[in-house]
Structure 1
Amino acid sequence: MKIEKANVIVTCPGRNFVTLKIYTDEGVYGLGDATLNGREKSVVSYLEDHVIPCLIGRDPANIEDIWQYLYKGAYWRRGPVTMSAIAAVDMALWDIKGKVLDTPVYNLLGGKSRQGVMVYAHANGSDIEETVDEVGRYLDKGYRAVRAQCGIPGVESVYGVSKNKESYEPAKKGLPPEDTWSTEKYLNHIPKLFEQLRDTYGDDPHFLHDCHHRLTPIEAGRVGKELEPFHLFWIEDCTPAELQESFRIIRQHTTTPLAVGEVFNSIWDAQLLISEMLIDYIRTSIVRGGGISHMKKIASFAEIYHVKTGFHGATDLSPVTMAAALHFDLSVNNFGIQERMPHQEIVSDVFSTAYSFDSGFMYPGDEPGLGVDIDEEKAKKYPYERAYLPVNRKEDGTLFNW
Structure 2
Amino acid sequence: MKIERLQTIVTCPGRNFVTVKIETDQGVYGLGDATLNGRELAVKSYLEDHVFPCLVGRDPRNIEDIWQYLYRGAYWRRGPVTMTAIAAIDMALWDILGKLAGMPVYRMLGGKSRQGLMVYGHATGRDHAEAVEEVQRHIEQGYKAIRVQSGVPGLEKVYGVGKAAGQYEPAQKGLPIEEAWDTALYLRHTPELFRKVREAVGFEPHLLHDAHHRLTPMEAGRLGKDLEPYRLFWLEDATPAENQEAFRLIRQHTTTPLAVGEVFNSIWDCKDLIQQQLVDYIRATIVHAGGITHVRRIADFAALHQVRTGFHGATDLSPVCMAAAVNFGLWAPNFGIQELMPHNALTDEVFPHSYRFEDGYLVMDDVPGLGVDIDEALACQYPYERAYLPVARLRDGSMWNW
Opposite residue 146 of structure 1, the aligned amino acid is I
Match of 1:213 in 2: 213
Spell out structure 1 runs of 4+ moving beyond 4 A: none
Aligned partners of 2:66, 2:276: CA distance in 1, in Å?
Answer: 31
Provide the secondary structure at the position in 1 that maps to 2:373: strand
Aligned partners of 2:283, 2:213: CA distance in 1, in Å?
Answer: 13
Match of 1:35 in 2: 35
Q: Which runs of 5+ in 2 are unaligned?
A: none
Q: Which residues of 2 match residues 97-116 of structure 1 at below 5 A?
A: 97-116=97-116
| Residue 349 of structure 1: how far off its partner (Å) | 2.5
Aligned partners of 1:345, 1:70: CA distance in 2, in Å?
Answer: 35
- State the Cα deviation string for residues 118-156 of structure 1 (Å, max 9, x = none): 000000001011000000000000000000000000000
Match of 1:325 in 2: 325
1:196 aligned onto 2:161: no
Match of 1:15 in 2: 15
TM-score (norm 1): 1.00
Aligned partners of 1:317, 1:118: CA distance in 2, in Å?
Answer: 18
Aligned partners of 2:345, 2:112: CA distance in 1, in Å?
Answer: 29
Aligned partners of 2:370, 2:163: CA distance in 1, in Å?
Answer: 34
Aligned partners of 1:198, 1:166: CA distance in 2, in Å?
Answer: 21
Aligned partners of 2:193, 2:208: CA distance in 1, in Å?
Answer: 12
| Residue 265 of structure 1: how far off its partner (Å) | 0.3
- State the Cα deviation string for residues 340-396 of structure 1 (Å, max 9, x = none): 000111112311001111000001321100010001111110000000000100011
- State the Cα deviation string for residues 224-259 of structure 1 (Å, max 9, x = none): 000000000000000000000000100000000000
Opposite residue 187 of structure 1, the aligned amino acid is L
Q: Provide the alpha-carbon RMSD of the alignment.
A: 0.5
Match of 1:148 in 2: 148
Q: Which residues of 2 match residues 107-256 of structure 1 at below 5 A?
A: 107-256=107-256
Provide the secondary structure at the position in 1 that maps to 2:288: coil
1:291 aligned onto 2:268: no
1:400 aligned onto 2:400: yes
Match of 1:266 in 2: 266
Provide the secondary structure at the position in 1 that maps to 2:299: helix
Q: Which runs of 5+ in 1 are unaligned?
A: none
- State the Cα deviation string for residues 28-79 of structure 1 (Å, max 9, x = none): 0000000000000000000000111111000000000000000000000000
Aligned partners of 2:88, 2:380: CA distance in 1, in Å?
Answer: 20
Opposite residue 116 of structure 2, the aligned amino acid is G
Aligned residues: 402
Aligned partners of 2:313, 2:78: CA distance in 1, in Å?
Answer: 21
- State the Cα deviation string for residues 152-174 of structure 1 (Å, max 9, x = none): 00000000001122410000000
1:304 aligned onto 2:304: yes
Aligned partners of 2:201, 2:137: CA distance in 1, in Å?
Answer: 12
Aligned partners of 1:366, 1:80: CA distance in 2, in Å?
Answer: 32
Aligned partners of 1:298, 1:127: CA distance in 2, in Å?
Answer: 38
Provide the secondary structure at the position in 1 that maps to 2:256: coil
| Residue 320 of structure 1: how far off its partner (Å) | 0.3
Opposite residue 304 of structure 1, the aligned amino acid is L
| Residue 212 of structure 1: how far off its partner (Å) | 0.1
Aligned partners of 1:175, 1:281: CA distance in 2, in Å?
Answer: 33
1:361 aligned onto 2:382: no
CA contact (8 A) 2:220 2:250 kept: yes
1:62 aligned onto 2:52: no
CA contact (8 A) 2:319 2:348 kept: no
Provide the secondary structure at the position in 2 that maps to 1:373: coil
Provide the secondary structure at the position in 1 that maps to 2:245: helix
CA contact (8 A) 2:211 2:236 kept: yes
Identical residues among aligned pairs (%): 66
Aligned partners of 1:174, 1:166: CA distance in 2, in Å?
Answer: 22
Aligned partners of 2:330, 2:264: CA distance in 1, in Å?
Answer: 22
